[in-house]
């Protein structure tokens, strides 16, 4: 048990996997969030993603959601605009237009969440509250994308030294769209991340941001009536732990208790 509502009921679980036999030190954290008891929100960052002169977000959680007992967790979004130009929209503001063939997480106005491919599973005229694209589908309808094994840093990104084995994060969803999964871990290759996602129950899945500075998840605890962030990885995610409780430059997601 990892996240709880005000009544003490469990709304999310956490575990850690060792999915790489060649690198037994590789750990993947998995957070499984019950979407029947929570709602997912998406925030456009103050600076990212956006294009020069284009619209952008404000990078803050609205005050009505940033309340003890309501706000449960927050985690990173996708790549910045220069690293792919992936589309993003929140609350009627389209920072970057959607592009066909890309993996997309969509939040509908009825609060449901879906992950799929833009132009195949999603289209521009959907009844969306928000959506975010990032790279290609990692897992699509239960099958791992072949590009996971053959793609390069152009498809999946790399660290500053060009290495594709790095801290990575991703989001998956169960076949019935009732469980949202967040995955993150250091020293991850794409095949190992994909295996961990499928093993955990992700039927569709999308890559999110990578590298230690950007891949970040915090549970939001309440101490003496105040919101307090708690990093998923206390050591690897110790930089700007409170980033999502203040104005942040990049886009991110957060989780609230369903009313």
Query: What span, in angstroms and rounded, lies between the C-alpha atoms of 43 and 251?
Result: 5
Q: Looking at residue 173, what is its pLDDT?
A: 98
| Mean pLDDT in consecutive groups of 10 residues from the start of the chain, 259 residues | 96 96 92 98 96 90 97 97 93 94 97 96 89 97 95 81 87 98 95 97 97 96 96 94 97 96
Q: Are 11 and 5 in contact (CB under 8 A)?
A: yes
Q: Are 58 and 105 in contact (CB under 8 A)?
A: no
Q: Looking at residue 197, what is its pLDDT?
A: 98
Which residue in this structure is represented by tokens 């289209």?
A: 123
Q: Looking at residue 152, what is its pLDDT?
A: 83
Phi/psi at 145 (nearest 5 deg)? -60, 130
Q: Looking at residue 122, what is its pLDDT?
A: 87
Q: Are 212 and 161 in contact (CB under 8 A)?
A: no
* Collapsed DSSP state (helix, strand, coil) of residue 132: strand
Query: What span, in angstroms and rounded, lies between the C-alpha atoms of 71 and 254?
Result: 8
33, containing H or E segment:
strand 28-34
Q: Looking at residue 198, what is its pLDDT?
A: 98
Q: Looking at residue 157, what is its pLDDT?
A: 86
Taking only the tens place, the pLDDT of each residue in 188-214 is 999 999 999 999 999 999 999 999 999
* Collapsed DSSP state (helix, strand, coil) of residue 106: strand
DSSP classification of residue 243? G
Which residue in this structure is represented by tokens 């939040």?
A: 107
Q: Looking at residue 125, what is its pLDDT?
A: 82
Q: Looking at residue 52, what is its pLDDT?
A: 87
Q: Looking at residue 163, what is its pLDDT?
A: 76
Query: What span, in angstroms and rounded, lies between the C-alpha atoms of 218 and 73?
Result: 6
Q: Strand 28-34 relative to strand 38-43: parallel, antiparallel, unpaired? A: unpaired
Q: Looking at residue 222, what is its pLDDT?
A: 95
């Amino acid at each position: 048990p990892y996240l709880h509502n005000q009544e003490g009921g469990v709304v999310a679980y956490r575990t850690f996997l060792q999915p790489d036999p060649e690198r037994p030190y590789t750990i993947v954290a998995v957070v499984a969030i019950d979407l029947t008891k929570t709602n997912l929100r998406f925030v456009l960052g103050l600076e990212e993603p956006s294009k020069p002169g284009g619209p952008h977000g404000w990078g803050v959680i609205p005050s009505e959601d940033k309340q003890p007992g309501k706000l449960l967790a927050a985690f990173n979004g996708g790549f910045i605009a220069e690293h792919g130009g992936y589309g993003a929209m929140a609350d009627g503001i389209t920072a970057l237009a959607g592009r066909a063939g890309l993996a997309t997480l969509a939040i509908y106005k009825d609060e449901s969440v879906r992950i799929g491919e833009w132009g195949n599973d999603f289209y521009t005229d959907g009844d969306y509250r928000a959506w975010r694209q990032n790279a290609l589908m990692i897992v699509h309808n239960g099958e791992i994308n072949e590009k996971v094994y053959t793609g390069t840093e152009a498809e999946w990104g790399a660290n500053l030294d060009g290495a594709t084995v790095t801290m990575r994060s991703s989001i998956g969803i169960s076949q019935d769209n009732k469980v949202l999964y967040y995955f993150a871990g250091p020293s991850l290759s794409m095949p190992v991340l994909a295996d961990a996602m499928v093993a955990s129950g992700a039927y569709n899945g999308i890559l999110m941001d990578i590298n230690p500075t950007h891949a970040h998840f915090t549970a939001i605890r309440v101490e003496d009536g105040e919101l307090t962030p708690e990093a998923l990885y206390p050591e690897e995610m110790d930089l700007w732990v409170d980033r999502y409780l203040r104005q942040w430059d990049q886009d991110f997601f957060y989780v609230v208790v369903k009313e």
